[in-house]
Structure 1
Amino acid sequence: MVEIILKKGKEKAVHQKHPWVFSGAIDKVKGDPANGDVIRLLAADKTFLAYGYYNAQSRVAVRLLEWDEQRIINRDWYAEKLHKAISSRGHVLRDSETDTCRLVFSEADYLPGLIVDRYADFLSLQILSSGIENVKDDIIDILRSALNPKGIFDKSDATARDHENLEAKQGLLWGELPPEFIAVKENGINYHINIVNGQKSGFYCDQRDNRQILAEYTKDKKVLDCFCYSGGFSLNSLRHGASHVTSVDSSALALETLQHNIQLNGFDIQQNTSVQADVNKQLRKFKDEGHLFDVVVLDPPKYAPSRSALDRAARAYKDLNRLGMALLPPGGLLATFSCSGAVDIETFKQIIAWAALDAGREVQIVKQFTQPEDHPVRISFPEGEYLKGLLLRVL
């Protein structure tokens, strides 16, 4: 097995079980590993540290898997990790009102570069590292045996594959091709979701808890749901008695799916207004027209894919939240989110403070949102805590 030796003093993070080794920490590569090969990582004094995937093209040159030198990284090792990940979601899998969740969450489950989402009888995979790509067939066989799905679909079209010198992929991996719409349940609400043509892996199940929490504040309220996608916050608000929900997204397909899901659940279609538009432009239009809402939801896409984009992202988040605050009367509620891992919660709070200052408003933090239990965070890998949000009362 190829050995990679770290520079002196660069082993501290590895001892602390952080799963990433950056290329700048490497002193020597003894051998000629291909991208995705499992290597032995050694300290400068040649003592064993861990096993991991190597990729010469990536800034994260080694993604660590196992710190026990006696363990062998083989099919049995992958089966153990996958079964542990699935069993740890037992609480969610036993919920009769929810049949969609994340089964494997990459580094959090010691499988860096693998994301597996369950949508009723189908599985959606994202393979984002060359190491997982190399063992894809084993992963599929183990998942088939453990879960007996109708089909397994590949959604490995994320830009993260570029960093590993992998081409984007999408298509059926095993079993039946998913239908145009898969029927799933979340929080007792029915959804028809599109895995094949939908965003990411097909549906954003990371907001499951937050949708339900926020919905409890929406009874008899006028709600504005921005970046609504297929309508998670909109549908939960309607279920909990919102008087009217305005849903804004730039995607015609997303809004078409939302309208379908409203009717699927028997909600009053007259209580929803769907607007296809750029959200920032539409917020300015609402302000110019004098519209006010009781609850505003801002759940934008990832503005900061890396720390190098943090300054630009901070300005975008500030501007978006300033516009959202302008549409609320005193006492109105703003639910605002960031899914950028590079933006930690304290930075996000500071951005909100700047937005409030620019808007001439005071705000109170009512609740703090995070990701649900099927998106766990390893204490040694805080970067896994990517979703954060605040429920604010705007005064």
Structure 2
Amino acid sequence: MIDVILKKGKEKAVQHRHPWVFSGAIEKVKGKPENGEIVKLLNAKGEFMAYGFYNDQSRVALRLLEWDEAVAVDEAWWRAKVGVAVAARSYILEDGFTDTCRLIFSESDYLPGLIVDKYADHLSLQILTSGMENIKPVIIDELQKLLKPASIFDKSDASSREHEGMQPSFGILAGAQPPELVEVVENGIKYGINIAEGQKSGFYCDQRDNRRVFAGYVKDKAVLDCFCYTGGFTLNAFKQGAKTVTSVDSSALAIETLKSNLTLNGFDEREHRAIQSDVNKQLRKFKEDGEMFDVIVLDPPKYAPSRSALDRAARAYKDLNRPAMLILNPGGLLATYSCSGAMDMTTFKQILAWAALDAGKQVQFIHQFCQPGDHPVSATFPEGEYLKGLLCRVL
């Protein structure tokens, strides 16, 4: 096993079991490891620190796996880690009201670069690191043994693969081709999931708990669901008695899937309107038309992929939330979210305060949203905490 030497003074994060070592913290590599190869990390004195994946094309040159020198990172090690992660989600799937969730959440499950989502009897897999790509056959085999899925579909088309020197990977890994729409149940609501063509791994199960909590506030209300995708918030709103729901998304596929999900749940006769449009543009149009709502959901894509983009993202969040506040009836509720890991909750609250000031409104924060238990946050990897949201009363 090739040795990688850490620069003097760079030991603290490794000792605290943070899984990333950046290229600038490395003093020397004794040899020429292949990208994705497991190497041994030593401190400047030559003492063992950890085993990890190496990649010289990535800013994160090492993704650490094991801090005990006596423990072999072998096939049994990988299978055990997968088994622990899968077993930890069993409580979500036991009640029969949900058969979809995230089974493996990358570094937060101590499997850097591996994401696995369960959609009924089908699995969607993303591999984002070269090291995990090397282990893929073992991962697939263990998932088959544990879950006996009808299929395992590869959705490893994320841009982060480029940073690891890898091409996108897409298609069937095991089993049969999944149907165009896989029917799943979340919170007792049915969804048709397009694994092959849907965004990310196919569905945003990280909002499962938040959708349920949000829906408790919508009975007899006029609801606007922005960035609605395939209707998570829309369907939960109708289930809990919303008077009307307007759903907005720029994706034609998302809108069509949303409509089929309404029919699937018997909500197609409800007072619903679907609008394919840019959300910011549509919010301005609602204002111009004098249209008002009682409850608004804003669940945008990631605006801040890194800390360097935070200032630009802050402006984007402000420019999104301000016009939404202007079309809320007095005392109306705004459920607004950020999935940017670089955006902390304190900053997000400040942005909303600025948006309210510009809109001439007052805002009360009445509930904080976060990611659910199948998206855990490791104590040694705070970067895994990315989803945050606020339920605001706008006066």
Q: TM-score, normalised to structure 2's length?
A: 0.99
Q: CA deviation at 1:134?
A: 0.6
Report the more deviating stretch, 343-352 or 117-126. 343-352
Paired residue for 1:159? 159
Q: Contact (CA 8 Å) 2:259, 2:268: kept in 1 or not?
A: no
Paired residue for 2:249? 249
Paired residue for 1:25? 25
> Following the alignment from structure 1 to structure 2, what is the Cα–Cα distance between the partners of residues 170 and 244?
39
> Following the alignment from structure 1 to structure 2, what is the Cα–Cα distance between the partners of residues 45 and 348?
43
Determine if the alignment matches structure 1 residue 225 to structure 2 residue 189: no
Paired residue for 2:355? 355
Paired residue for 2:188? 188
Paired residue for 1:78? 78
Q: Contact (CA 8 Å) 1:298, 1:336: kept in 2 or not?
A: yes
Find the residue that maps to 2:293 and give its secondary structure. coil
The one-letter code matched in structure 2 to 1:394 is V
Paired residue for 1:342? 342
CA RMSD of aligned residues (A): 0.7
Matches within 5 A, 1:302-341: 302-341=302-341
Report the more deviating stretch, 42-51 or 368-377. 42-51
The one-letter code matched in structure 1 to 2:376 is P
The one-letter code matched in structure 1 to 2:330 is P
Paired residue for 1:385? 385
Determine if the alignment matches structure 1 residue 140 to structure 2 residue 178: no
The one-letter code matched in structure 1 to 2:349 is K
Q: CA deviation at 1:268?
A: 3.9
Determine if the alignment matches structure 1 residue 129 to structure 2 residue 129: yes
Find the residue that maps to 1:235 and give its secondary structure. helix
Paired residue for 1:367? 367
Q: CA deviation at 1:298?
A: 0.2
Q: Contact (CA 8 Å) 1:2, 1:33: kept in 2 or not?
A: yes
> Following the alignment from structure 2 to structure 1, what is the Cα–Cα distance between the partners of residues 42 and 353?
45
Paired residue for 1:198? 198
Find the residue that maps to 1:116 and give its secondary structure. strand
> Following the alignment from structure 2 to structure 1, what is the Cα–Cα distance between the partners of residues 277 and 103?
33
Find the residue that maps to 2:315 and give its secondary structure. helix
The one-letter code matched in structure 2 to 1:88 is A
Q: TM-score, normalised to structure 1's length?
A: 0.99
Q: How many residues align?
A: 395
Paired residue for 1:282? 282
Q: CA deviation at 1:350?
A: 1.3
Q: CA deviation at 1:308?
A: 1.3
Q: Contact (CA 8 Å) 1:259, 1:269: kept in 2 or not?
A: no
Instruction: List structure 1 segments (4+ residues) > 2 angstroms apart after TM superposition.
Output: none
Determine if the alignment matches structure 1 residue 118 to structure 2 residue 118: yes
Find the residue that maps to 2:274 and give its secondary structure. strand
> Following the alignment from structure 1 to structure 2, what is the Cα–Cα distance between the partners of residues 151 and 36?
26
Structure 2: segments with no counterpart, 5+ residues: none
Q: CA deviation at 1:269?
A: 3.3
Paired residue for 2:51? 51
Find the residue that maps to 2:101 and give its secondary structure. strand
> Following the alignment from structure 1 to structure 2, what is the Cα–Cα distance between the partners of residues 122 and 270?
31
Q: CA deviation at 1:54?
A: 0.6
The one-letter code matched in structure 1 to 2:59 is R
Paired residue for 2:105? 105
Find the residue that maps to 2:328 and give its secondary structure. coil
Structure 1: segments with no counterpart, 5+ residues: none
- Cα deviation, 1:1-53, whole Å, max 9, x if unaligned, reads 11111111101001111111011111011110111000111111111111111
Find the residue that maps to 2:180 and give its secondary structure. coil
Find the residue that maps to 1:154 and give its secondary structure. strand
Matches within 5 A, 1:4-19: 4-19=4-19
Find the residue that maps to 1:167 and give its secondary structure. coil
Find the residue that maps to 1:329 and give its secondary structure. strand
The one-letter code matched in structure 2 to 1:310 is L
Q: CA deviation at 1:286?
A: 0.3
- Cα deviation, 1:166-200, whole Å, max 9, x if unaligned, reads 11111000111110000100000001110011000
Q: CA deviation at 1:270?
A: 4.1
Q: Contact (CA 8 Å) 1:53, 1:65: kept in 2 or not?
A: yes
Paired residue for 2:41? 41
> Following the alignment from structure 1 to structure 2, what is the Cα–Cα distance between the partners of residues 93 and 32?
45
> Following the alignment from structure 1 to structure 2, what is the Cα–Cα distance between the partners of residues 35 and 374?
30
Report the more deviating stretch, 179-188 or 39-48. 39-48
> Following the alignment from structure 1 to structure 2, what is the Cα–Cα distance between the partners of residues 82 and 270?
43
